[in-house]
Chain A
C-alpha cells in the first residue's frame, strides 16, 4: 500500500513491488557494480568465490540422447564425478552449467533457449557428443539443428559418439581450469 505522507528514509518500504525492484536495481547496481565499493569487494573476494564456483559446478538434469546415459553413468560408482563437486540439479535456477548431450531438433530449440535464459549468471555451456557439436550422424536431417552453438554460446566441446564418462569428467576439469584463468569477479563480472 503506497503511503504518500511518508517521504523520509523509510521511503523504500512504501513502494509497490515493481517500483521496489526498480529502486533496488538502481541503488544496488550503483553501489555494487558501478562504484569503487563493488570493485573493491570483488578484488578481495574474487579468488575465494572463483575457487568455490569451480569446485561445485552444478549441471542441469537434462538428458537428450545416448550421451545422457554416459552423463548418468558418470555419477555412478566407477567414475564418480561427485568427488569433483559436480552434482546434477533439477531446476535451471540452481545450475551453473548447461550440459547439452544430444541432437537438438527444431521442436526442442525454443525449449533449450528458454532453459538457457532461465539460468542465472555466471553460467557456462558444455556441448557433449558429436550431435551437440555439429549434428553428429544426423547432420543432414530435415529436423536436426546442426550444432548447438547456432543459438547458444558454447564454452567447452567434448567430442565422442557417445563421449565416454572419463571424457565428460575431463571436460569439466578443463572448464575448471578455464574459470580459474578467467578470474571473473562475481559482483562486477570483470
Chain B
C-alpha cells in the first residue's frame, strides 16, 4: 500500500516539469503597452486614465456601467484569470471601488478604479465572472454598505445578521 501511494506521489512530482501549463488565453505575453492598447480599443469611453505605476502594474479608471462587460473581456480575451482584491474606499463626495486583477501567465497586475456617487453606492457584481469575488463583495457590503447588483447572496458575513450599521463609513464613530 505504501509503495503504491509513494509511487503515485513520485509520478505527480515528475510530471510537473512537463506539465507546467498555465490557464489558456488568446493573447500571449502581453506587456503593459499591449494591454493598454487592447483595452483602449475595446472600451474607448469606459476605461480611461491609464497609468503605468511600476513594471507589470497598470492602473486605469473604469465607468461603473461597463464593469460586467469589461471584466468578462478581461477574463476571456486578455487572460486575467485571478481577481485578487475588491476594496471600497469612502471619500467626501464619492465611493471608490478598486479591483485588483492578476494575470498568471502574463504576470500583470491591473488596478481598476470605479466611482459611484455618495447617495447611490451600487455597482454590478462580478461574482459570476470570478467566483472568488463572492465573499469579497459580501464583505464590502457588510462593512461599507456598497450594493452589488446581481449578487446571488448579498448578506452580512463578518458582523451579526441583525447589525444595523456599516462600520467602515466615516460617519460611524464606534
Interface: A174 (CB within 8 A): no
Check B152 for interface membership: any CB of A closer than 8 A.
no
Dominant secondary structure at the B interface: loop
For B165, give the chain A residue with the smallest CB separation: A142
- Whether B174 contacts A107 by the Cβ 8 Å rule is no
Contact (A107, B167) CB under 8 Å given A141-B174, A142-B174: no
Q: What string of 1s and 0s marks CB contacts (under 8 Å) between B148-172 and chain A? A: 0000000000011000000100001
Q: Are B174 and A106 in contact (CB under 8 A)?
A: no
Chain A residues with CB below 8 A from B167, complex form: 142-143
Which of B160, B167, B172 has its CB near the most chain A CB atoms (within 10 A)?
B160
What size tier do the contact residues of chain B reach?
under 10
Q: Does A140 contact B (CB under 8 A)?
A: yes
Docked Cα-Cα span, A106 to B156, in Å, equals 14
Chain B residues near A142: list those with CB within 8 A. 167, 172, 174
Q: Which residue of B lies closest to A140 (CB)?
A: B174
Count, A-B residue pairs, CB within 8 A: 11
> Distance (Å) between the CB of A99 and the closest chain B CB?
24
Minimum C-beta distance from B168 to chain A (A): 10
Q: Residue on B with the closest CB to A109? A: B160
A66 to B51, CA, bound (A): 41
In the complex, what's the smallest C-beta–C-beta distance from B133 to chain A, in angstroms?
A: 24
- List of A residues within 8 angstroms of B174 by Cβ: 140-142
In Å, the complex CA distance between A141 and B159 comes to 13
B159, chain A: closest CB distance, angstroms:
7
Chain A 106-143 interface mask (CB, 8 Å, partner B; 1/0): 11000000000000000000000000000000001111
A141 CB to nearest chain B CB (Å): 7
Shortest distance from the beta carbon of B174 to any chain A beta carbon, whole Å = 3
Complex Cα distance, B159 from A143, in Å, reads 8
**Smallest Cβ distance from A113 to chain B, in angstroms?**
14
Cα–Cα, bound, A147→B160 (Å): 19
- What residues of chain B have their CB less than 8 Å away from a CB belonging to chain A? 159-160, 167, 172, 174
User: 10 A-B contacts, Cβ less than 8 Å apart?
Assistant: A106-B159, A106-B160, A107-B160, A140-B174, A141-B174, A142-B167, A142-B172, A142-B174, A143-B159, A143-B167
Given contacts A142-B172, A143-B167, 9 further A-B contacts (CB under 8 A): A106-B159, A106-B160, A107-B159, A107-B160, A140-B174, A141-B174, A142-B167, A142-B174, A143-B159
